[in-house]
Structure 1
Amino acid sequence: MSDELSAQATPTDQGYEGALRPATLDEFVGQAKVRKQMGLLLNAAAMRNHTPDHILLAGPPGLGKTTLSMIVAAEVGKPLHQTSGPAIQHAGDLAAVLSALTPGEVLFIDEIHRMARSAEEMLYLAMEDFKVDIMVGKGAGATSVPLELAPFTLVGATTRAGLLPNPLRDRFGFTAHLEFYSDDELTSVVTRASGLLGFEVSETGLEEIARRSRGTPRIANRLLRRVRDYSLVHDTPGDTAAVRAALALYDVDDHGLDRLDREVLRAVVERFEGGPVGLSTLAVSVGEEAETIEAVVEPFLVRAGLLTRTPRGRVATRLGWEHIGLRPV
């Protein structure tokens, strides 16, 4: 193993991994319109010396919603408190979180659409008036005690904006819809990441990684790390051949489909003769959760033109048939 590759496997490598997240809006690659909109919102709040409006980040997984929440906190110079919708199953859980916030703090709730309904209703008043009502006691003797909250900025993230109730969605001052990345944008993402990781990859190798990353920066960074591991173990440079060999080892094909993507596509084509097939039936046939297929697999297959969604179910397109080596019947 060469000294250069051995030097990459150092204790400080974890620091580089954490540094892959951009720290400012200027460093954030892609989502140009969203960055301009957020920059305007944050700059205006700073000029007025006010807490920024609440922000809702909507889009598929891996596009940078958590990173943007960290950037919001960094831009306003306030702490970030992170939690998630599934962790807030009672109004008391939310009250505990809100009461602990300091003035101007940024509260990030990931998968906000999965909060309990009672917590959602408490959040309405907290977002508008920065106070909540706490019920003390039970039965006829129960009383409502108002609790004043420090002004805060809520950043909510969701992969399924349609599941948010209208009263909650309307209370966000700004809703950002994140889009999949282009190959050029993903090339910029992995170019930056390779520099932070201290791993040199050829230009064509970086483009190959970007092309197979399904329009998602999280996947691009993950594939880059696997290529780095392959080069380290096999003592090879980060050229196009190493990229292709590493991605083949991890079952990522030329179009970016992984094992589960191909299983879903093959199930539609071979088991259900191209469809239509319902989501629950499809999930059972591949042994995966329906939510995973709907939120993770389908968006890319539909965007790539390999699958379509109809009122009767999922249907493979001509490109979908051809991708697995068959002709439409």
Structure 2
Amino acid sequence: MAREAIYQQSGDDDDHRDDPGAPQTIQDTRLRPSQMQEMVGQGDVIERLRIAIDAARSRSEPLGHILFDGPPGLGKTTFATVIPHEMGTSVQLASGAGLKAPKDLIPYLTNVEAGSVLFIDEIHRLPRTVEEYLYTAMEDYRIDIVLGEGVNARTLNLELKPFTLIGATTRAGMLSAPLRDRFQIREHLSYYPIDDLREIILRNAAKLKVKVDEAATHEIAFRSRGTPRIANNRLLWVRDFAQSRAGGKVTARVAVEAMEMTGIDSLGLDKQDRSYLDTLIRIFDGGPAGLEAIAHTLNISSDTLEDEVEPFLLRSELIVRTRRGRMATSKGFEHLGRANPR
């Protein structure tokens, strides 16, 4: 088989802040690793995958089905494109949102080559009927196609070539248990430590031919929320700022000025994050306050706050969620330079 991956993509992506689900751009493709040895971070996941890949190759069998779960931007799609390269096979890319009926899935299944990879992003968005259609395809490499209707209907059993299904999801709990259990390998991707993000920034700066000093990589990494995709976005913006205002060289001062221009503070909070925290502290005296009350005060939907703003504030220990509502922590007061009335 050709070692170059064959990419096919369907469906639309979610619209999230920091571009976690946006379509791939030229920059995304350029900065994304193409081999596993180029990947930084997630060392335990990489080690387990290497073992599985080596074993499958030695037996000349397809790799077992794999499910990646975790927050956006941590490398699920990168793993899905690197694994076929390691296996020396091709890959088809699909989106769970675009597979609305079994007929949408059939072209992908009938086009799989022996040992190739079918990658379904946001697999938790598959309708239940499509999920059930995958059961026999994953276990028996077979699908049943119904031809005709009523008493004239007949079933066509179509044999598939052995393939590997790789699923990626930000909400593993939304997958049905029968589908989850059919993945032999399940890996959860966690947030990256600062040192790994710095290494990613250094490598990608070299690809972009940008001069970045060591202190600048720390500033960018520390404000990237532990997420490589956000780190790349920050790097691209700092590069543009440096080329326009600083002669192209990225120093710590240039990186800080670039971040402050877009409202990114020392912890990685943006304007919306700080507005939430400021409203909770200034108007609600640090809480407890209900999510709906905060949302109405900010004139932002509660879903946006719960899905996009609160996760990082909770992870940064700036707020807590209690039965009575949201409350700012001492660290939250300190970050905004406010006295804690409690």
The reply to whether TM is greater than 0.5 is yes
1:258 is displaced (CA, Å) by 1.2
State the 1:141 CA deviation: 3.7
**Are 1:308 and 2:317 counterparts?**
no
Equivalenced residues, count: 316
SS in 1 for 2:37: coil
What are the residue-to-residue correspondences of 1:85-96 with 2, within 5 Å?
85-96=96-107
Is the Cα contact below 8 Å between 2:143 and 2:159 reproduced in 1?
Answer: yes
Q: Which residue of 2 aligns with 1:260?
A: 272
Aligned equivalents of 1:178, 1:186: Cα separation in 2: 14
SS at match of 2:118: strand
Report Cα offsets for 1:190-249 as digits up to 9, x if no partner.
011111110011110111111111101111111111111011111432111111111111
On the 8 A contact 1:60/1:296 being kept in 2, the answer is no
Distance 1:211 1:143 in 2: 60
Of the structure 1 ranges 27-36 and 131-140, higher mean CA displacement relative to structure 2 is found in: 131-140
Q: Matches of 1:314 and 1:81 in 2, distance apart?
A: 43
Q: 1:130 to 1:246 in 2, by over 3 A?
A: same
Contact 2:246 2:254 (C-alpha < 8 Å) held by counterparts: no
- Of 261-270 and 176-185, deviating more is 261-270
CA distance in 2, matches of 1:271, 1:114: 38
3-state SS of 1:181 partner: coil
Equivalents in 2 of 1:313, 1:88: separation in Å? 38
Change over 3 Å in CA distance of 1:76–1:253 after alignment to 2 = same
What letter corresponds to residue 159 of structure 1 in structure 2? Answer: T
Q: Secondary structure at the match of 1:325?
A: coil
Equivalent residue letter for 1:264: Y
Q: Determine if contact 1:16/1:197 at 8 Å carries over to the other structure.
A: no
> Which secondary structure does the structure 2 equivalent of 1:132 belong to?
strand
The corresponding residue for 2:116 is: 105
State the Cα RMSD in Å: 2.1
Q: Offset of 1:140 from its aligned partner? A: 4.2
AA at the equivalent of 2:164: T
1:126-177 deviation digits (Å, cap 9, x = unpaired): 1111111122223344333222112111111111111111111111011111
Identity of aligned residues (%): 43
CA 1:116–1:324: 2 relative to 1, 3 Å? same
Deviation at 1:80, TM superposition (A): 1.3
More moved, 285-294 vs 77-86: 285-294
Tell me the residue number matched to 2:251.
239
- Measure how far apart 1:288 and its partner are: 4.8
1:276, CA displacement in angstroms? 4.2
Match of 1:78 in 2: 89
The alpha-carbon deviation at position 273 of structure 1 amounts to 4.1
Gap change, CA 1:280 and 1:71, over 3 Å in 2? farther
Query: What aligned pairs does 1:15-30 form with structure 2 within 5 A after superposition?
Result: 18-30=29-41
Q: For residues 271 and 92 of structure 1, do their structure 2 counterparts lie closer, same or farther at Cα, with a shift above 3 Å needed?
A: farther
SS at match of 1:155: strand
Distance 2:232 2:86 in 1: 24
- How far has the Cα of 1:96 moved from its partner? 2.5
Q: What residue ranges of structure 1 are gaps of 5+ in the alignment?
A: 1-13
Measure, in 1, the Cα distance between the counterparts of 2:303 and 2:95. Answer: 17
CA separation of 1:218 and 1:312: change in aligned 2, threshold 3 A: same
CA contact (8 A) 1:17 1:197 kept: no
> Residue 53 of structure 2 is aligned with which of 36, 42, 52?
42
User: How many Å separate the matches in 1 of 2:243 and 2:156?
Assistant: 61
1:297, distance to aligned residue in structure 2 (A): 3.0
**Secondary structure in 1 aligned to 2:212?**
coil
Q: Does residue 124 of structure 1 match 2:135?
A: yes
TM-score computed with the length of structure 2 as normaliser: 0.86
